[in-house]
Structure 1
Amino acid sequence: MVSAYLPYRLVNYYLARKNLLRPAPPINLTFSITNKCQSHCQTCHIWKIYQDNPEAKKEELSLGEIEQTFGTMDPVFFFNISGGCPFLRDDLPEIIKLASVYLKPRVIHIPSNGLEPDRIMSMLSTILKDLSHRSEGTYLQIKPSMDGLGACHDRIRGTKGNFDKLLLLMENLKTLQKSYPKLQVGLGTIISTLNIDRLGEIIKFIDQLEIDSYIAEIAEIREEMLNASAALTPRPEDYRQAVGLLCRHFGKRPSKSVGLTKFTRALRLIYYPLSLRILSEARQVIPCYAAFSNVHLSAYGEVWSCATLGSKKSLGNLREQSYNFRKIWQSKKANDVRDFIISWNCSCPLANQAYANMLLHPATLIKALKLYLSLP
């Protein structure tokens, strides 16, 4: 069931980007709840933050501050919890409970490095029990990372034994699904110069796991990830081969369900060639709606348009504005960031934002609907 506010907000974003209306509240919220992480990934250096500055942990938003913030926000359709490793926050179940009370998301998404299967399963059980009573219509998506097989995965993620723990977690998650049908289990791969030549074997292995969804996203230089010095993004000619592989895979793979999951699959089939064009042409191939449809909260209360621009183009800080998200969202500083984006000053293949951009681009939306109807 589509939330009643979605059609209005989508029309609003389209017109607001043309400076005809004030932007409505976002439908997609990403919240980096912590920068704690026990991985040592080569593609992301968030784990270095507290290694270099342990005292900074104390600056993360408290549960009380999070509740104050959520209390000034409108409902969102998609709530993406990010990090760091989200499961390292002891109050993760309470954060999700607050989100279900104030934000009422239809989809909650949590990534995972899979390093602590027992801790993850314990927290998920608590979260799912609460959601089953409080928010019956909400889907919880858990998406661990698989960047290679065996030692390759461990090397990229910087932790020996990670792959074996990941497989144990996947087995446990599929067992948990039997009790909670609203739990969706997926996997994600970051395609980088470190593994692009092994993408085929990764996809083949994942197919055997019979999971609900799989997404591969190209490695980017992001303000959020502190990885500006790393040579991670594949060359366009190499990524083109990966795109062909992914499109063949998703085009023939039967969907386990219909509705939102199948439509997301259609969007992904469009996203991969689109991301290749963005990478090759270094421009917004279709208009970007960051700071319109989507918003990102940092662990320290910074409000960002997206993870790519991050603190370089902050809309404001929640602590400095008495945790009033609406005030920041409608501020001059926020409008200045929107003008920067509207003026085509940035481009990136960030998947989370690209889906909203495709929905708000009429020609691409029509293409996605046709593809949805034709998929097996």
Structure 2
Amino acid sequence: MSRIVDYFKLGRKYFSKHQPLAMIYFVTKRCNAKCMHCFYWDDLNKTNLNELKINEIERIADSTGKLLYLRLSGGEPFIRQDLFDLVRVFVEKCSPSFVGIPTNGFYTDRIVRFAEKAGVFNTRIEIGVSIDDLREHHDKIRGSRLAFENAINTFKELKRIQSRTRNLRIGFITTAVKSNQTRLVEIFEYLKALEPDSISCNIVRGDTRDRGEKEFNMHSSKHFNDLCDEYNDTRVKKRRDLFSRMRQAKTLYAHEIRQKMIETDTFQIPCVAGSKIVVLYAEGEVYPCETLDFEIGNVRDYDLDIRRLLQSSRAASIQNKIISGNCFCSHECFTTASIVFSKKQLLKVAGRALSPRMFG
């Protein structure tokens, strides 16, 4: 019954302004790696950090209300010792359908303990282990010794406990960059053999630590994406439930739109950044998305009320600028949100999900 109430509240928010249905929360500005392709590198590991505390996060979650999904990022999310409590707050107050956490997989014991405890949540927990290359190549990209060994060990340990942690999904995330473009197929075959729940491809973006990493062949990333889609498609057909088919249909459609954007460098669909999906940074800064450099405001200046912040004149101005300017990018999360939170696009996804192809 509680789930029905949650979906009713989500439905109301779907048609309301100033109420985000999805959030990306950079939980920390601390990281143990020095990734060559990181777009957040210049903000990491500064002194005198004043990251949001649990009591502040509780008030932010209260003001946010029901979420369809929540993605936690960083920095390295598992550096936060209170990550479990942070997730618990959002699960209890926002009831997201799933919580996604990308990780470099370095802190194996800490990640596994979190996953074991997270079995109590009535929410799917998706941990994505980042693997950008194989062995020493991965370590070089990540700027961290033993990065590959620890990440693979973390994945294997998570697989070991998955049978008794039913809400846990474990996948791999690979970022396509110049350094790995000639090995993407080899990387895919290695990851596929480990039988993750999913394999995802991100496109390098932003002002990277090593700007040369953005000079890669888009054709190689498209081929890798196609391999990932084929693999994920097969996994979904084994599950056969409508929710999984809807998610996979959405993912495939998002990849099509993103590829068109990349190939033609043109607008494809209206973006909902700053309205239905927002980015919350570790010290309370709120942005419409990760790729735009204009801040909506700091939630601490709005009594930790994110809804009030999104009702501000500055928020309205930024939202109008995004829509009127036909803003577009290749960011996976925002392409997805712009599909899910558009009635027109969602109908297309539903049609695909119900097609015989998705039933295998």
- 1:194 counterpart SS class: helix
Cα distance per residue 1:85-138 (max 9 Å; x no partner) = 11101111111121122212221111110111012112332333xxx2xx43x1
Indicate if the aligned counterparts of 1:315 and 1:334 stay in contact, CA closer than 8 A: yes
SS at match of 2:279: strand
Aligned residue pairs total 352
Which of 303, 311, 314 aligns to 1:333? It is 314
In the alignment, structure 1 residue 9 sits paired with structure 2 residue 13: yes
Partner of 1:147: 132
Within 5 Å, which residues of 2 pair with 1:85-96? 85-96=76-87
Measured against aligned partners, the alpha-carbon deviations of 1:302-347 in whole angstroms (never above 9, x if no partner) come to 11111111xx221111121221212101111110110110012532
Q: 1:171 to 1:67 in 2, by over 3 A?
A: same
**Aligned residue number for residue 162 of structure 1:** 147
Residue in 2 aligned with 1:103?
A: 94
1:64 aligns with 2:80: no
Give the equivalent residue in structure 1 for 2:252: 269
Is this contact kept in 2: 1:243–1:276, CA < 8 A? no
Contact in 2 for aligned 1:114/1:145 (Cα 8 Å): yes
Distance 1:164 1:202 in 2: 14
The match for 1:35 is: 29
Q: Give the CA deviation at 1:286.
A: 0.9
Write the distance in 2 (CA, Å) between the matches of 1:244 and 1:72: 39
Distance 1:198 1:74, change over 3 A: same
In structure 1, C-alpha distance between the alignment counterparts of 2:196 and 2:238, rounded to whole Å: 9
Letter in 1 for 2:214: L
Percent sequence identity over aligned pairs: 26
Q: State the 4+ residue runs in structure 1 displaced beyond 6 angstroms.
A: none
Inter-partner Cα distance in structure 2 for 1:360 and 1:90: 33
CA distance in 1, matches of 2:89, 2:231: 38
**Partner-residue secondary structure (3-state), 1:264:** helix
Q: Is 1:297 matched up with 2:297?
A: no
The normalised TM-score by structure 1 is 0.86
Q: Given that residues 196 and 242 in structure 1 are in contact (C-alpha distance below 8 angstroms), is that contact kept between their aligned partners in structure 2?
A: no
CA distance in 2, matches of 1:117, 1:341: 40
Residue 246 (structure 1) shift: 4.2
Q: Are the equivalent residues in 2 in contact too, given 1:141–1:185 (CA < 8 A)? A: yes
Contact 1:184 1:212 in 2 (8 A): yes
Helix, strand or coil: the match of 2:194?
coil
Q: Deviations over 1:140-176 (max 9, x none)?
A: 1111111112122212111121111112111110121
Code of the residue aligned with 2:115 in structure 1: it is: L
Pair 1:189 & 2:182 matched: no
Moved more, 351-360 or 296-305: 351-360
Asked if structure 2 preserves the Cα contact closer than 8 Å seen for 1:40 and 1:47, the reply is yes
Q: What is the letter of the counterpart of residue 34 of structure 2? A: H
Between the aligned partners of 1:83 and 1:275, the Cα distance in structure 2 is 24
| Residue 362 (structure 1) shift | 5.3
| Number of the residue aligned with 1:347 | 328
Q: Say yes or no: does 1:121 pair with 2:112.
A: yes
| TM-score normalized by the length of structure 2 | 0.89
Structure 1 residue aligned with 2:188, among 178, 203, 213?
203
Per the alignment, residue 214 of structure 2 pairs with 232
Structure 2 stretches lacking a partner, 5+ long: none
CA shift in 2, pair 1:194/1:104, >3 Å: same
**Match of 1:143, SS?**
strand
Report the equivalent of 2:47: 54
Deviations 1:189-231 (A, max 9, x none): 1112221222211221222112212211211116xxx659454
Q: Distance in 1 between matches of 2:136 and 2:232?
A: 26
User: 3-state DSSP class of the match of 2:214?
Assistant: coil
Structure 1 residues 234 and 8: alpha-carbon distance in aligned structure 2, compared to 1, 3 A threshold: farther
**SS of the residue aligned with 1:71?**
helix
Secondary structure at the residue paired with 2:66? coil
- Distance in 2, matches of 1:142 and 1:165, equals 15
Q: Encode CA deviations 1:272-329: one digit per residue, 9 max, x unaligned.
A: 23212212333331111111221110001011111111xx221111121221212101
Bigger shift: residues 244-253 or 42-51: 244-253
Distance 1:362 1:127, change over 3 A: closer
Distance 1:236 1:172, change over 3 A: closer
Query: Any conservation in 2 of the 1:38–1:47 contact (CA below 8 Å)?
Result: no
Q: Which deviates more from structure 2 when the two are superposed, residues 171-180 or residues 354-363?
A: 354-363
Q: Quote the offset at 1:268 in angstroms.
A: 2.1
Of 357-366 and 97-106, the range deviating more from structure 2: 357-366
Equivalent in the alignment of 1:278: 261
Q: String of CA shifts for 1:62-90, please: whole Å, max 9, x gaps.
A: 22221222222211110111111111011
Distance in 2 (CA, whole Å) between partners of 1:362 and 1:334 is: 23
Tell me the CA shift for residue 371 of structure 1.
3.1
